[in-house]
Amino acid sequence: MNAANRGLGKGLGALFEEARANVPADRALAGDTATNVQYIDIHEIRPNAKQPRSHFREEAIDELAASIKTHGVIQPLIICAAAAGFELVAGERRWRAAKKAGLRDVPCIVREISEEQRILFALIENIQREDLNPIEEAVALKQAMDAFGFTQEELAKSVGKSRPYIANALRLLRLPEDVRGYMVDGRLSGGHGKAIAALSDSEKQSKLAAYLAEHGCSVREAEILAADPRFAAPKAGARLKSRTKSAEMRAVEEELHGLLGTKVSITGRGNRGCIELNYYSREELEGLIELLRGLQGR
C-alpha cells in the first residue's frame, strides 16, 4: 500500500463531516445544491455487501420508521454508483427504515469511493455509533486489515482506537463458535470475551462462557474465574464467590486498565505485593513497553 492510502482514515473523516449536514423533511428547504444532496429512488439503492453489521433489531427499525414518517430522513445516506443503480456506503439502518416508512426517494450524498474505502467507511460509521456487536466489529476490523494491509497500529489510528483495543477485538475471532454466539446475541460482552480468551483450552472457554451467560456474571467475575489456575466449569446452580479485594484496590485496577488498555491485577499482603499486566501477543507486549517507557519520561 502506498503512502497516500495510509492517510485514508483522515479522508473518510472529512466525508463524515459532509454527511452530517441536516436535511429537512421538506426538500424544498433542503438546499440540495449547497449541500450536494440528491434525492434518489430508494429502489435504485442496494445495501453495501461489505457492511460489517449483520444484525438489525426490527424494533429499532420500526421506531426509526415512525420518526421518518413524521420528520423525514434528517441525515442523508452516503452512496456510490454501482453497476446497476447505487450502493450504500453508510446509512443502511436509515435506508431500511425509510423503505418501511413507505418513502419513494431519500436524500443522498453521492461519492466516488473505492471498494476498499467502502469497507473502512462503513466500519468507522458503525464503530463511532457503537452499532456493532463484538463479533461483527472484530470481523470488520479483520476485513479492513486484509483489504488495506494495515498493521494493528495503522488500523487503530484510522478508526480512532488504541492498538490493544484492536488486538483484543481480533482475539475474539479465535474463540469457539458457541462462545462467539453468546456475544452475537448479547448475552456476553466483548469484555467477557476478552476474559474467556485468556484461557488457552477451547473446552474450558466454552464451559466458562456458558456459565457466565447462564448466571449473568460481570466482566470482573469472568476475569477472576479465567485467571484462576484451578479453574474448572462450576457445578450447575453454583454461584461464583469472588475473592475478597477492597473497593479501593478494584478502583485502582480499573484505572490502570483504562490507562494501559489491558487487564491489570494487583495482589498483595501487608506492604508487599505485585502488579500483573496481561498481554496476548508480541504486538501487545511491544505496545505496553512503549507506553510504559513514555510514562517514564513524564
So which residues are the catalytic ones?
Answer: 92
pLDDT at 154 > cutoff 80: yes
Mean pLDDT of 145-150: 80
Sign of CA dihedral 289, 290, 292, 296: positive
- pLDDT value at residue 112: 81
Please write down the HEC assignment for all residues of the chain: CCHHHHCHHHHHHHHHHHHCCCCCCCHHHCCHHHHCCEEEEHHHEECCCCCCCCCCCHHHHHHHHHHHHHHCCCCCEEEEECCCCEEEEECHHHHHHHHHCCCCEEEEEECCCCHHHHHHHHHHHHHHCCCCCHHHHHHHHHHHHHHHCCCHHHHHHHHCCCHHHHHHHHHHHHCCHHHHHHHHCCCCCHHHHHHHHCCCCHHHHHHHHHHHHHHCCCHHHHHHHHHCCCCCCCCCCCCCCCCCCCHHHHHHHHHHHHHHCCCEEEEEECCEEEEEECCCCHHHHHHHHHHHHHHHCC
Q: How confident is the model at residue 22 (pLDDT cuts 50, 70, 90)?
A: very low
**Nearest Cα residue to 168 out of 190, 184, 189, 199:** 190
Q: Calculate mean pLDDT across residues 76-92.
A: 84
Q: 3-113 is classed in which CATH architecture?
A: Alpha-Beta Complex (3.90)
Distances (CA, A) of 133 to 27, 105, 129, 130, 163: 35, 30, 11, 8, 19
Distances (CA, A) of 157 to 8, 31, 124, 152, 212: 10, 35, 11, 9, 33
pLDDT of residue 265: 76
Q: Out of 84-98, 194-208, 234-248, pick the least confident.
A: 234-248
Residues contacting residue 25 through CB under 8 Å, at least 6 positions apart: 70, 71, 72, 73, 74
- pLDDT of 75 over the 90 cut: no
Q: Whole-number mean pLDDT of the chain?
A: 75
Is pLDDT larger for residue 201 or for residue 251? 201
For CATH 3.90.1530.30, the residue range(s) in the chain are 3-113
Distance, CA of 204 to CA of 207 (rounded, Å): 5
Does 260 or 239 have the greater pLDDT score?
260
Please report the pLDDT score of residue 178 as a whole number.
Answer: 95
pLDDT of residue 54: 55
Average pLDDT over residues 176-189: 92
Comparing 181 with 259, which gets the higher pLDDT?
181
In the block, cell 426538500 appears at: 27
CATH among 3.20.20.70, 1.25.40.10, 2.10.260.10, 1.10.10.2830 for 118-227: 1.10.10.2830
Determine the average pLDDT of the residues in 155-179: 89
Does residue 167 or residue 287 have the better pLDDT? 167
pLDDT band at 17 (very low <50, low <70, confident <90, very high): very low
- How confident is the model at residue 98, as a pLDDT? 92
69-88 mean pLDDT: 85
Checking if the pLDDT of 2 tops 50, the result is no
130-144 CB burial, b ≥16 within 10 A, e <16:
ebbbbbbbbbbbbbb
What the block records as the C-alpha cell of 28 is: 424544498
Task: Using the predicted structure, report yes or no on whether residue 206 has a pLDDT greater than 90.
Answer: yes
Q: Where does the chain hold its CATH 1.10.10.2830 domain(s)? A: 118-227
| pLDDT average, residue stretch 156-162 | 82
Lowest mean pLDDT among 43-57, 96-110, 166-180, 201-215: 43-57
Please give the residue that has the higher pLDDT: either 218 or 18. Answer: 218
Give the confidence band of 292 by pLDDT, cuts at 50, 70, 90.
confident
